[in-house]
Amino acid sequence: MTELDMATKWPMYIGGASRTSERVTPVLDPGSGLVVASVPAAAREDALEALSYAQKGTEIAANMPSHQRMRILNQASDLIRARREAFAVLIATEGSKTIREARKEVDRCVDTMHLSAEEARRQEGEVIKFDQSPGSENRVGYWQRGPVGIVLAITPFNDPLNLVAHKVGPAIATGNAVIVKPSELTPLSALKLAETLYEAGLPREVLSVVTGSAHDIGEPLVQDPRVRMVSFTGGLKTGTHIAHQAGLKKISMELGSNSPVIILADAELEAAAKACVSGAFWAAGQNCLGVQRIFIEQGVYDEMKERIVALTAAIRMGEKMDESTDMGPLITSREATRVADWVEHAQSRGARVLIGGERQGTYYRPTILEGVPTGMTVLEEEIFGPVASLVAVKDLDSAIHQANSVNYGLQAGVFTRDISSAFHAIKKLQVGGVMINDSSDYRIDAMPFGGVKGSGLGREGVHFAAEAMTEQKVVCFNL
């Protein structure tokens, strides 16, 4: 693994300074269950110290010229690209992704950092025509954007590198200081990203990565008034708790989904089947955009079922570092057990398992259900596992009605060759993004990304995160 060899103990970074602790949290490979590293279990005092450094970091970051921010972010992007395989091994070791999936995440992170560098040059404003108001004829001015101050980034386990980059990159681009609280399950990628940014020339006070539990360090950071923005990606329950704790500060939240895909009879069926299977089982289904509910027009239901089941049967589940493996384990045995329980509960109420439905430790076989009764958890909540349900519908409106019936609305996919049907779905689906002739799982890092209802607040995507991490300031001259 060359530069990224696993050390037994990894430090965290407070104001850029390497810190260890007698209290540590083990990092496990979810496939083998072996301890691959440990990180400090930070205490409240560590969080408060990180805030003190971040206060100094805000002054430094705000005074960095745009070309310096751009150079640092571009240099970090280049370093990550040069170390692609080592970063991929790190992601696949501490998380659930296969080595092939991990390489794609590294590629996306390279793009995210480059986009962030470009965003540093785009923090512009506009001239204000004050003379539109009587009595202001002698006034001229403009508005401009400035940093919010300290951004707290709380990140999940499922994209341990790129989701950190989606918060850190725009924050640096816009002149903020950042404190990252990574997932306790996958902290190593965030720590290695921080090291890379320091190497690229980022002033160390601008970025801290504090490892530990939400109770010990997350809550003190969220509640502290010095934090001016909380950017959180995770579950709805945790997001709601954070929103109640945060007080009067900016909040950006991506809280997951229960993503629907609608397949109409006029669709290109093989393409739809391939997209749905890929979208359902990428990263073992631990993906906020993952395909969970597949609504199929009755006339092609049986054919689509056959295609989807056949493609699911071809998925190779196994060891993450094996180049032939398509799907690895879930992040913990507890999560695998939860997914199994949800499926078994649906079965007990009449749902049929067409394929899969078997757990082996942290592994859960790719699973397709049908006949799931209304109200079952596998249809109502985010399963965050390799399970998708097929639902026959009489027409597009019926599919839209059922797709909208849950308290989530991140993205949806619609497969049709009819432009009128496509635009009808775009208008009626209550989601943050509608992918026509793609599954809900399609995303690029430059697009606005977020949802409605329980799927969150605000939008990620580099440009849109950067906007959220700034405040507008009006300047007016009375001549």
CB 109 within 8 A of CB 76: no
Could you tell me the two tokens for 420?
Answer: 């009128």
Q: Residue 475: enclosing H or E segment and its boundaries?
A: strand 470-478
CB 452 within 8 A of CB 408: no
How many CB atoms sit inside 10 A of residue 334's CB? Answer: 10
The count of C-alpha atoms lying within 13 angstroms of the C-alpha of 476, restricted to the half-sphere facing its C-beta, is 10
Cα(458)–Cα(478) distance, rounded to whole angstroms? 36
Could you tell me the two tokens for 185?
Answer: 């399950």
Cα(293)–Cα(372) distance, rounded to whole angstroms? 10
- Phi, psi values for residue 268, rounded to 5°: -80, 100
Could you tell me the two tokens for 455?
Answer: 């799927």
The DSSP secondary-structure symbol of 205 reads G
Q: Please report where in the chains the tokens 């969970």 appear, as a residue.
A: 292
Q: Please pick, among 119, 254, 297, 460, the residue that the annotation labels catalytic.
A: 254
**Beta bridge mates, 137:** none
List b or e across 250-278, with b for residues whose CB sees 16 or more CB atoms inside 10 angstroms. Answer: bbbbbbbbbbbbbbbbebebeebbebbbb
Cα(458)–Cα(477) distance, rounded to whole angstroms? 33
Report angle CA 156, 161, 166 to the nearest 5 degrees.
Answer: 80
**Beta bridge mates, 370:** 352, 390
Three-class SS state of 424? helix
Q: Please pick, among 49, 205, 288, 335, the residue that the annotation labels catalytic.
A: 288
**Beta bridge mates, 262:** 295, 414
Report angle CA 240, 102, 171 to the nearest 5 degrees.
Answer: 50
Could you tell me the two tokens for 396?
Answer: 């597009």
In Å, the largest CA–CA distance within the chain is: 77
Could you tell me the two tokens for 227?
Answer: 């934090």
How many CB atoms sit inside 10 A of residue 219's CB? Answer: 16
184 included as an active-site residue: no
288 included as an active-site residue: yes
Residues 6+ apart with CB under 8 A from 468: 229, 231, 250, 252, 458, 459
Give catalytic residue positions.
Answer: 254, 288
